[in-house]
Structure 1
Amino acid sequence: MALLSIVRLACLLLLVDLVVLAALAQLVPVLAPALAWLGLAAAWLEAGLRLLAFIAAGRLLAPGGPRGAAVVLSLTPPTFLTLRSLLVPYGAAPALLATAAPAWLALTHGATTAVLLAWAVPAPGAAMGTKSPVAVGRLLALAWAEWPVLGAAFLFLVLAVLGETAGPYCTGKALDAIRQGDGPTTFTIGLVLATDLGSSLFAGCRGGLFTLAQARLKLSTCHRLFSHLMLQDLAFFQGTPAADLSARLANDVPLLCNAVPSSVNVALRSLVTVLGLGGFMVGLSPHLTLLALLEVPLIITMRKVYDARYQVLQQAKLDATANTAAVVQEAISSIETVRTFAGEEEEERRHSRALAKMLELKDQIDVEWALFTLVWRAVQLAVQVLVLWHGHWQLREGTITTGSLVTFLLYQAKVGLHVQTLVFGHGDLLSKAAAGRKVFEYLDREPTGDTGGTWAPATLRGHVTFQHVSFAYPMCAEHLVLQDVSFELHPGEVTALAGLNGSGKSTCAGLLVRFYEPGAGEVLLDGVPLRDYEHHYLHRQVALVGQEPVLFSGTIRDNIIFGLKDCGEKEVRAAAAAAGALGFISALDQGFDTDVGEKGGQLSAGEKQRIAIARALVRRPTVLILDEATSALDGEGEVALQQWVRSSGARTVLLITHCPRMLEAADRVVVLERGTVVEMGTPAELRSCRGPYSRLLQRSPGTGQPENPGVGYGE
């Protein structure tokens, strides 16, 4: 509802109420005996008449407005009078609003206006376009795995609240004893100290257990999210920045996991505290208790307004944080390009803009929290002054002692905070859990990276068949990269894929290692579709070495045996020797224990390539794919690789290269043009035909002809 509609409805209700109450005020002297006989029922009769007038006026002059406003406005006075008569049996007699002071009319309409404002504020999820950012049930289900720790924390919470509740009560009794001249006894002082120390001890145990549950929950959620992400297909990672995923794991998961145990801790502590302290307060003074609870509806309105605003800012801050992390990661990972084009200042400006946006949102959140706290404290102080003023009159009348009043004031200071926390626990939980919206989106995303079937034969020949394969990348589904491609790779043979950049060679390699699934046709290994093979078995039998190999932070040995659980030193050295890497590794001070740095930054391009080849060879694959694996090798490394390829025995080798020497060393060559097979045969047969293969040899580096420029490699 718009602000103008709220003002119009509030003014309408006030005018109608003035007319109705003025008419009732004229009838009160005439009906005085009957009203005195009716007692409390007269207040409810007045409320019914006002409610009928509000509903009739609302339907005629403000259709579509909330009916709850009329109900609150009419029923609040008799409800208060009823509670007062029940809690204070010998208090003042019930009175009609028509004969009450104008301040009571202003109070009821002020409370109703506050309710209308709270009604108009969007719910904590509606401000972001969703009914709820995260369902409370999902948050509780997330924390349920830690129920033993949370159960023990709840036990200590109850004990801590009992001590916290008994402390002010014992303090008040001690003050009464001092006022009466008896003086504090050893038992009284000991009881006060015992309750305070016990409350502190149990509160510490409660906080420690909730912190433990929070840490365990964070660990399990991070592991679950990371494992779930690893099952997604390559299209997901190509469309989602790595920095965004890293920020979700580093920032959003901790915020989400902090929200669940923290909210359970605060909600349970507040509930038990309010019940315990509220019972003591009613026993001390029911009238003062009603006055103390006047702040609840006012805080409800203010907090709902704040929660809706806070959630929007919190989500914007998280997005800005992820964007800042993305800028940093892009700049660092591309530092060579930045240096090449002298773009340091440009990257500094990008980072400054992203950081300024994040800090601006953080400052805005802090300012709005400060304003909310200021208003809340002002309301709380006003209610405390009201309670103190009425407590002063009760002291003069002798209906309450000094110790009881001090105890009540101590309780009120605590209950005010706990009631506010309890009432808004749900909204506060949703506001904090806004950070978990993306986390749950990723967890709800169905794993699209198919890990394969169960077929894992004891022996594998390595016969590969591309059978009428067509394929288009998910990001460009209308553009076919491969069209009806058919060829075979035979065991014991080296088959080379040749073609210009962009002809689909690397796409064939990607299909063979199941980076993608063919859009049409099948890729068969020993006559069985690749999707039927068990995931780990397939990727041990089919190994790929790319043009730009990726090494991980760690030692050379760690990178060679990556993904293997049982690999001895002998196998590692043999693979390194076969890849032509043993010589330079042995020359290093720490040999295989040398740290390669982030992404292998401590090694040259050729050294990284040799380690990548060794990582593939140590698996003793049945099918080996070398995708431009010789591009970064020097002459010695290339000779070693050629010798190994020729002596590979029964292994199937797929070679993707522009190097004429490697092409000529192959047993069979398949030539691709624009995603289709245009030639197949031995190198000698294709040279004699003087077709596409011969033209490729003339374009290849080292033959005096330039390579075709401007075409993306391998796609």
Structure 2
Amino acid sequence: MAANTTKIMQKVVALVLAVCVDLSLFYASGLAVTHSVFGHFTRLWVSAGLRFLALTAVSLVTLGEFKPLLLRFITAYCLVPAVFETGTNVFYHEETQCGQLADLRCWLMCAGASLAAALFWEIVIPDTERKETKQKARELFIRVLRLFRPDCLVLLGALMFLSLAVVCEMFIPFYTGRVIDILGGQYQQNEFLTAVLFMGLYSVGSSVSAGCRGGLFICGISSFTRRMKVKLFDALTQQEIRFFEETKTGEITSRLSRDTTLMGRTVCLNVNVLLRTLVKTLGMISLMMSLSWKLTFLVLMEMPITGLLQNMYDTHYQRLSLELQDSMASTNEAANEVVSAIRVIRSFKTEKHEASRYDNCLMITHNHKMCRDKVRAVYLLARRLTGLCMQVVMLYYGRLFIQRGQMTTGNLVSFILYQSDLGDSIRFIIFQTLTYIFGDMLNSVGAAGKVFEYLDRKPEVSTDGQLKPDQLKGHVQFQGVNFSYPAKQNKTVLQNFILELKPGEMTALVGPSGEGKSTCVSLLERFYDPQDGEILLDKEPLKSYDHHFLHKKVAVVSQDPVLFSGSIRNNITYGLPDCSLEKIKEAARKANAHDFIMQLPKGYDTEVGEGGGQLSKSEKQRIAIARALVRQPQVLILDEITSSLDAESENKVQQALANCPNLTLLVIAHKLKTIEKADQIALIGDGQVKERGTHQELMDMKGSYYKLREKLFTDDAVA
């Protein structure tokens, strides 16, 4: 507390001392003018140099340190008056009263102008502390612009109409003032009609060009959004299983639906408006300078204040917008969970609890929106008050200039019309240019950053293999495999795991739940890669095989099969668009699915509903088996599929598989009837193969398999 008080006292002393020193030098400069010690220009720059040295010395002595921000302010404070006086004298051959006199009023005016220049400098030139963040923002923005390259012809057409609209719109206020001068002076019909005609032509040209510009930009945005959605969707489907386990569904869908639209629409529209506003602003400033350069400089003094307000608003608004995006993703996730688990929710009667949870998520989103809207309301109030004060000052000096004959009433009207547009244009330029080129990104580029995170993410399980042999035997070997799930690195699931699956044989994995049976299936499907050891297929590592080839030759049927909306035919041929109907029916017969399919109203064209909801679990299971068999795999994995099949279906499926003599079959089951027929049974425990052999061999050993037989298996049901 004492340290803070000391620092505050140092700053107060430094400020008082700096004001006293600067006023002394200011009045000394006035005395130099009175006694003609120096010439006018010499006095201005000598005074600026002395004030800079004096204020720098005072700052070092009183504060003991010299921050870059303070140096920039002192430099602007000392140089702006000299630059303004010199420019006025050189370009307009005039000297202001403050250039000829030295009093407190002039000192305050110079200090205010210098403070405005310093604020503008601070906004335009970023601090080194924020440079890294701003550089990243610029890189992201440029990257988004490059993605618009396929739409360059459409955008060029839009830019052409943009330029026409700006040029036409810019001259309307000029001719408005011209008409007022004609009506207020000696009326001349030809000049009046000419001015009105040009006003009409420029108005029509501006409207038509603006409409064409907007239509072309919207076409470009639509094309860009479609490409980005496809590109992001493709990148998401390439990710490993771990990514989907760790990333919430609501967040993924929010990026895919909302953020891609936001990054395309907002960025493109803002570039459109930025270019239009920049060209229009430069044109209006040049016309305003021709009407009254003094009023123009007065109006431009609003820029630094507006820029400071805009910079503060951007910082808070962007942060709140990002928080709002995250909260909306969480809300979507809560809704998706309820819809996907509606049966569980209904069985536990937790509808009110889920509604309350969803309401809490919406309340968090509502609070973020309220905070963002409050920040915007305060910003709009401050901006309008600033604009109102500037209009009052402009009207006051405009009246003085008319009385002195320095401008006409029509010129003042034209100037006021330009000024009303210029304020909005300058605010937008500061908002866009300083945000994109010199400052932080808009909330649309923040959304683009989230999309690029997914686009740039490299899957941890590589799919770059190229091996596609003409003949595949299906010989699988687990060699010293060690594996832990990424989310539970401290728990080893498989440890020095060794297992061989031979072609033409059926291998059954048995053991208590959680010992690694399904993990073997996940590794064989390359959902994950082992931390140590290798899995070989025909003596080649799995990762060396082509991704599509591997998953055609190694098929899996899980306990809870997933069907997609569409027909039974589309579900069986999923991923095989050129599969013939004969092959589909053959696979369905092997899976004992053909008979019940033909009894349906539309046969193989029957819709299964969302997630296969129109079919029973047994029917879905048989369609999933047909989907695997139609690929003619060399390695087939059946994970607990017999739990949903009746005895007849199970026997028919097993008979069909027996007719594939070269098929490598891996089975996980809890029915003893299924296990007994296996050529090899592997008992898994503690992440290793504890016992291996046929059913009779393991029973004769009277080991762990014998002891667990009654616990693990039943003859009639699933354990």
TM-score, reference length from structure 2: 0.91
Aligned equivalents of 1:377, 1:553: Cα separation in 2: 55
> Which residue pairs with 1:325 in the alignment?
332
Report what 1:665 is aligned to. Answer: 677
Gap change, CA 1:161 and 1:146, over 3 Å in 2: same
Partner residue, 1:479: 491
**8 Å CA contact 2:30, 2:101 repeated in 1:** no
Distance 1:48 1:459, change over 3 A: same
Aligned residue among 538, 549, 557 for 1:545? 557
Distance verdict in 2 for CA 1:365–1:133, change over 3 Å: farther
Q: 1:234 to 1:124 in 2, by over 3 A?
A: farther
Which residue type is aligned with residue 163 of structure 1?
C
Which residue type is aligned with residue 615 of structure 1? R
For 1:244-255, list aligned pairs within 5 A: 244-255=251-262
- Of 5, 17, 20 in structure 2, the residue corresponding to residue 18 of structure 1 is 20
Following superposition of structure 1 onto structure 2, how do residues 73-222 of structure 1 map, counting pairs within 5 Å?
A: 73-90=77-94, 92=96, 95=99, 98-101=102-105, 103-104=108-109, 107-108=112-113, 111=116, 132=137, 135-179=140-184, 180-183=186-189, 185-222=192-229
Query: 1:487 aligns to what SS in structure 2?
Result: strand
CA contact (8 A) 1:699 1:706 kept: no
Residues 395/417 of structure 1: CA separation in 2 closer, same or farther (3 Å cut): same
User: Counterpart in 2 of 1:59?
Assistant: 60
**Contact 2:512 / 2:712 at 8 angstroms: preserved in 1?**
no
Separation (CA, whole Å) in 2 of partners of 1:615 and 1:178 = 85
Out of 38-47 and 127-136, give the one that drifted further: 127-136
Q: Do the aligned residues in 2 keep the contact of 1:307 with 1:427 (CA within 8 Å)?
A: no
Is residue 2:631 matched to residue 1:619?
yes
Distance in 2 separating the partners of 1:645 and 1:122: 71
> Structure 2: how far apart are the matches of 1:704 and 1:144?
65
Looking at structure 2, the residues matched to 133 and 348 of structure 1 have their Cα atoms a distance apart, in angstroms, of 42
Q: 1:347-386 alignment to 2 at 5 Å?
A: 347-386=354-393
Are 1:6 and 1:117, in contact at CA under 8 Å, matched by a contact in 2? Answer: no
**Structure 1: segments with no counterpart, 5+ residues:** 708-715
User: What is the alpha-carbon distance in structure 1 between the residues aligned to residue 227 and residue 29 of structure 2?
Assistant: 71
- Distance across 2 between alignment mates of 1:486 and 1:175: 95
Shift of 1:134: 6.2
Other structure's SS at 1:679 match? strand
SS in 2 for 1:227: helix
Q: Give the Cα–Cα distance (whole angstroms) in 2 for the partners of residues 97 and 699 of structure 1.
A: 105
Name the counterpart of 1:711. none
Where 2:642 maps in the other structure, the secondary structure is: coil
Deviation at 1:381, TM superposition (A): 2.0
Q: Secondary structure at the match of 1:654?
A: strand
Q: Among residues 546, 549, 560, which one is paired with 1:534 in the alignment?
A: 546
Q: Is the 8 A contact 1:17 1:50 kept in 2?
A: no
Letter in 1 for 2:103: T
User: Residue type of the partner of 1:28?
Assistant: G
* CA distance in structure 1 between the aligned counterparts of 2:251 and 2:295, rounded to whole angstroms: 53
Equivalent residue runs for 1:575-594 within 5 Å: 575-594=587-606
Q: CA RMSD in A?
A: 3.0
Matched, 1:431 2:433: no
Go from structure 1 to structure 2 and tell me whether the alpha carbon gap of 1:514 and 1:148 turns closer, same or farther (over 3 Å shift): same
SS in 2 for 1:680: strand
Offset at 1:682?
2.2
**Counterpart-to-counterpart distance in 1, 2:46 and 2:145:** 45
Match of 1:70 in 2: 74
1:420 to partner: Cα distance: 1.6
Post-superposition offset of 1:567: 1.0
SS of 1:67's equivalent in the other structure is helix
In structure 1, what is the equivalent of residue 585 of structure 2? 573
Task: Report Cα offsets for 1:582-634 as digits up to 9, x if no partner.
Answer: 23322322332333233223322222211211111111111111011111222
Aligned partners of 1:404, 1:276: CA distance in 2, in Å?
16
- Counterpart amino acid of 1:41? T
Identity of aligned residues (%): 37
Quick one: distance in 1 between partners of 2:101 and 2:519?
82
| Cα deviation digits, residues 620-657 of structure 1 (max 9, x gap) | 11111101111122233222222222222322211111
- Out of 102-111 and 227-236, give the one that drifted further: 102-111
- Match of residue 511, structure 2, among 499, 506, 510: 499
Counterparts of residues 615-694 of structure 1 (less than 5 Å):
615-694=627-706
Q: 1:112 to 1:168 in 2, by over 3 A?
A: closer
CA distance in 1: counterparts of 2:294 and 2:368, whole angstroms: 44
Shift of 1:405: 1.7
Residues 525 and 120 of structure 1: is their aligned pair in 2 closer, same or farther, counting only changes over 3 Å? closer
- Offset of residue 344 of structure 1: 1.2
Residue 47 (structure 1) aligns with: 48
Supply the distance in 1 between the matched residues of 2:399 and 2:560 (Cα, whole angstroms).
82
Do the aligned partners of residues 196 and 123 (structure 1) sit closer, same or farther apart at CA in structure 2, a change above 3 Å counting?
farther
Cα distance, 1:195 vs. partner?
0.7
| Alignment equivalent of 2:399, drawn from 374, 392, 395 | 392
Partners of 1:523 and 1:323 in 2: CA distance? 39
Identify the residue that residue 39 of structure 2 maps to in structure 1: 38
Determine the structure 2 residue equivalent to 1:335: 342
Secondary structure of the structure 1 residue equivalent to 2:148: helix
Query: Would the alpha carbon gap of residues 273 and 226 (structure 1) be closer, same or farther in structure 2, given more than 3 Å must change?
Result: same
Task: Give the 3-state SS of the residue equivalent to 2:147 in structure 1.
Answer: helix
Contact 1:575–1:615 (CA<8 Å) still a contact in 2? yes
In the alignment, which residue of structure 2 is the partner of 1:422?
429
In 1, are the aligned partners of 2:670 and 2:718 still within 8 Å (CA)?
no
Q: CA deviation at 1:72?
A: 2.1
1:121 Cα deviation from its structure 2 partner: 11
Tell me which amino acid in the other structure corresponds to 1:170: Y
Shift of the 4–578 alpha-carbon distance from structure 1 to 2, 3 Å rule, reads: farther
- Deviation track 1:392-450 (CA, whole Å, cap 9, x = no partner) reads 22222222122222111111111211122112214544122122232222222223231
Distance 1:531 1:242 in 2: 28
1:164-220 Cα distance to aligned partner (Å, 9 max, x none) = 112222222222222221146444322211111111111122222222222222222
Offset, 1:97: 7.6
Contact 2:511 2:685 (C-alpha < 8 Å) held by counterparts: yes
Q: What letter is aligned with 1:598?
A: E
Alignment of 1:2-13 (within 5 A): 9=11, 12-13=14-15
Contact 1:671 1:680 (C-alpha < 8 Å) held by counterparts: yes
Per the alignment, do residues 116 and 156 of structure 1 end up closer, same or farther by CA in structure 2, a change over 3 Å counting?
closer
Give 3-state SS (helix, strand or coil) of 2:527's partner. Answer: coil
Given that 1:380 and 1:416 are in contact with CA atoms closer than 8 Å, whether structure 2 keeps it comes out as yes
Distance 2:104 2:33 in 1: 16
Aligned partners of 1:55, 1:304: CA distance in 2, in Å?
28
Contact in 1 for aligned 2:464/2:546 (Cα 8 Å) = yes
Alpha-carbon offset, residue 548 of structure 1: 1.5
* TM-score (normalised: structure 1): 0.92
- Sort the Cα spacing of 1:5 and 1:401 in 2 relative to 1 into closer, same or farther, 3 A: farther
- Alpha-carbon separation, structure 1, partners of 2:468 and 2:644: 35
Find out whether 1:315 has 2:316 as its counterpart. no
Q: Does 1:302 align with 2:309?
A: yes
- The secondary structure found in structure 2 opposite 1:424 is helix
